Structure 1
Amino acid sequence: MMLVEGERIDRIAGTRDSIIQSQDVFSYSIDAVLLGRFASIPIKAGRILDLCSGNGIVGLVVAGRTKATIQLVELQEQLHSMAERSIKLNDLTNQIVSHQLDVKNLQNAFSHGEFDTVTCNPPYFPVHSNKLIKEKVAIALARHELACTLNDVISSASFVLKHGGKLAMVHRPERLAEMMLVMQQNGIEPKRIRLCHAREDEPATILLVEGIKGGKPGLRIEAPLFIYQADGEYTQRFQQEYFNE
């Protein structure tokens, strides 16, 4: 397997699997691994779709929890290529397939109601006409809603989810109200929320949300996750959930 200049192979936290990353594009962060562990997924059989999949991190984490098939959708060719090679690196070609595809064109590639679970770690930041984005194009596309909006992602997820299927997303806490509204507008009822904080005395920085297509109202707020102790070491709970220790 060939690595492109600037690429490296990293071990995925809490797994035996590896992933190809690059200094030129957005590397995976805590958010993606937490999403892969938070999402409710079919364990023995079923179909899972990961949108805005980047280099495949969420799909690879999810693969360690299930025998279900997993489809990845990523717009950027470079990230799609890295995901494909990471899948081969971990001998997961029989379980995971990566597609280079625009989320907004999902209906042209998949059937209505095809998936049991959809996961997504989307671009976090809306684009304002008066804001100049100075990042590299690949990083800007991963961080900002240049290619797809929150509504694009959720409406596409709703199309491919079966009735009773689940959408799990990670995002920024300040967009919680918007997320819940857009989910309900697309027939997905928010059912679980978890907030993650860097430290116990600091505001949340990571939001995990899961909803059910066609679900009944009833929202559960799960216990918060604190990442660091006062001394800067990881909390025991975070180590258990992130590193499987």
Structure 2
Amino acid sequence: MNKLDYIPKTKIKMIHIPKSYSFGIDSIILLNFAKMKKNKTLIDIGAGSGILSLGANDLYKLKKVTAIEIQESKANLLKENLKLNNIENIEILNEDLNDVDFPINSTDYIITNPPYYKISDNISNTSEEFLISRQEKYLNLDDIFTFANKTLKDKGKLFMIHKPNRMVEIFTKSANLKAKRLRFVSSKASTKPEFMLIEFVKNAKDGLKIEDPLIIYENGKYSKEMNEISGRI
């Protein structure tokens, strides 16, 4: 039996299908990290069931959101989530990103929680749905940066979460997208970062702000900041 999840700090409901890959804590912290202005446009690359599309649209009262998702099952679930919440300004493109023909210099923001692992990484022995969501089978960094450099307006922003061990590769491939904000995320204060949050700005001047790290757990429980991010306080 399906149940409903709620996006933190919103009234947005999302259908949760048991044993299916749903959104995780990485999407929640990326949504909190990404800051946008009202009445702007957003593209969500690898939208899944829609947490970033629906969440950002609700939090920032966006003009239009385009959700790109290659998996038909995920795109159909996103369609159901739009109906569930009576949302009409989000367009779903059930396509490979490389086949999407979007106008040049037309978008204010892009957000993505992409696959973290290369095809060569050994994360087999799991479902095809999980592999597509977490391994670069159909979507890789080159695809994302090529699309973002073409599609974003001058000074438009790309928000991304990824693994720290791929930081050099990410910064090398970003081209005209300059990293302007960087925040590391650790499970505990004593452990190495598990994620990094990055804000890129198209054609920006050099200069990177490294923010204080986000610590998820303290004393076995959510930290005060994670409680705030998740809407618990």
**Matched residue, 1:140:** 131
Whether 2:42 is the aligned partner of 1:48: answer yes
Partners of 1:50 and 1:58 within 8 A in 2 = yes
User: Partners of 1:244 and 1:171 in 2: how far apart?
Assistant: 25
Secondary structure at the aligned position of 2:116 is classed as coil
**Matched residue, 1:221:** 210
User: Partners of 1:8 and 1:146 in 2: how far apart?
Assistant: 29
Q: Structure 2 residue aligned with 1:118, among 95, 104, 110?
A: 110
Q: Structure 1 residue aligned with 2:17, among 15, 22, 33?
A: 22
Aligned length: 232
User: Partners of 1:40 and 1:178 in 2: how far apart?
Assistant: 24
Whether 2:72 is the aligned partner of 1:77: answer yes
TM-score by length of 1: 0.90
**Matched residue, 2:162:** 171
1:175/1:97 CA distance change after superposition, 3 Å: same
Secondary structure at the aligned position of 2:20 is classed as coil
Which runs of 5 or more residues in structure 1 are unaligned?
1-5
Partners of 1:84 and 1:97 within 8 A in 2 = no
Letter in 1 for 2:146: S
- Equivalent residues in 2 for 1:1-245 (5 A)? 7-43=2-38, 45-68=39-62, 69-93=64-88, 95-106=89-100, 108=101, 110-128=102-120, 131=122, 133-183=124-174, 185=175, 187-230=176-219, 232-243=220-231, 245=233
Partners of 2:10 and 2:59 within 8 A in 1 = no
RMSD: 1.6
Which runs of 5 or more residues in structure 2 are unaligned?
none
Q: CA deviation at 1:244?
A: 6.0
User: Partners of 1:23 and 1:88 in 2: how far apart?
Assistant: 20
TM-score by length of 2: 0.94
User: Partners of 2:151 and 2:91 in 1: how far apart?
Assistant: 16
